[in-house]
Homo-oligomer: A and B are copies of this chain.
Amino acid sequence: MKVDTKGRLAALRTKMGETGVDLVAIAPGSHMDWLLGFHPHPDERPCLLLIGPEKETFLMPALNADGTREDTDISFHPWSDDEGPEGALMKALSDVGAANAKKVVLDETMRADFALLVLDNLPGAGHAFTTETLGALRMAKDQAEYEALKMNAEIADRAMLKAFDAIAVGKTEREIADVVKAHFASEGASPSFWIVGGGQNGAFPHHQSGERKLQEGDAIVIDIGAKKASYPSDITRMVAVGRPPEGYEEVHAVVEKAVQAALAAARPGVKAKAVDAAARNVIADAGYGEYFVHRTGHGIGIDGHEPPYITATSESVLEEGMTFSIEPGIYLPGRFGIRLEEIVILRADGPEILSTLPRDLHVAKV
């Protein structure tokens, strides 16, 4: 995707001014992808985009300098393996007017040694992460980002339908996951995760697909995602192998009601915690509060998980254009787990759901 680097850097500097930040330090990763449309080869050699009040520069491992030069005109402060990065860092900080920075924003995903290289060379500087600057900017998506997310959601819907078709007694979770991965690959998407949790495994929210064979009466959590054109998908639906287990329908209805409550609560100007509360109250009122062990959702963009996080305590104010998941769940140990997940983009009048798949239990014939 073509990125408006100039515009995004200008927006970042406005945020820096508003929040009193002297320096933003970004490592090769998704923040850099959002700003520049690429990132240099990431490894253990400190490589940082340093953004000061008016100028930006790269601390750049010498052996990546020529290759990276093909992607950007931003200046480099190269350092060789022999010299180490410290001298080049000091020059780079001075170059962008941040040699005496008092408030530094660090890319929270950067390696600990990169972060402490910066902080140890700016004694007395306070640190923060990107929540109020880059993170805030990245939350609201532009039209091109929406289209990339919508395209990925459509691919994930088709992968989910392939999973539904593949369900059969005696197949392993891993075999179902393989069908999902193959479908993603066939549409040019790189699979990111492929949770197929059958029976009791479904009660572990982050269970990975294993060698367990599907049995008649299993309720199966299928939570899958992939990435194409730098943007991800993420969807969860439920399948039963024949008749679902005792008590399943009642719990599914509670989770569905929680999804609907969260969808109804999500409006521009509302705090993220109000959306979480809407889902959580439905589940608590039904007597399952202790079995909803995670947040209601997470933002989604270049990163599969990014702000805004839809948690019980999040003061983030939702705005038009934000994209996030709504995915309440109830996990009954030793019995089954149920999660239903939508990705939405917040419009002026409420959330637009990117998937077109119903959230009903899919009953696979046995």
Contacts and interface: CB of A to CB of B under 8 A. Distances in A.
Contacts of A205: 63-64, 67
B115 A129 contact: no
Interface string A62-106: 111011000000000000111010000000000000000000001
A336 interface: no
B207 A67 contact: yes
A112 B26 CA distance: 11
A31 to B, nearest CB: 12
A320 interface: no
Interface string A174-218: 000000000000000000000000000001111110000000000
Nearest to A119: B116
A43 interface: yes
Contacts of A110: 111-112
Contact of A63 (B80, B111, B206, B333): B206
A297 B226 CA distance: 35
A243 interface: no
Contacts of A43: 305
Q: Is the interface of A mostly helix, strand, loop or mixed?
A: loop
Nearest to A43: B305
Nearest to A83: B313
Contacts of A208: 41, 67
A183 B293 CA distance: 43
A107 B115 CA distance: 12
A134 to B, nearest CB: 13
B67 A311 contact: no
A81, A112, A295 pick with most chain B CB within 10 angstroms: A112
Interface in A215-232: none
Contact of A109 (B80, B112, B203, B309): B112
Interface of A: 41, 43-44, 62-64, 66-67, 80-82, 84, 106-116, 127, 129, 203-208, 293-295, 305, 309, 311-313, 333
6 contacts: A44-B108, A66-B204, A84-B313, A107-B112, A108-B113, A109-B111
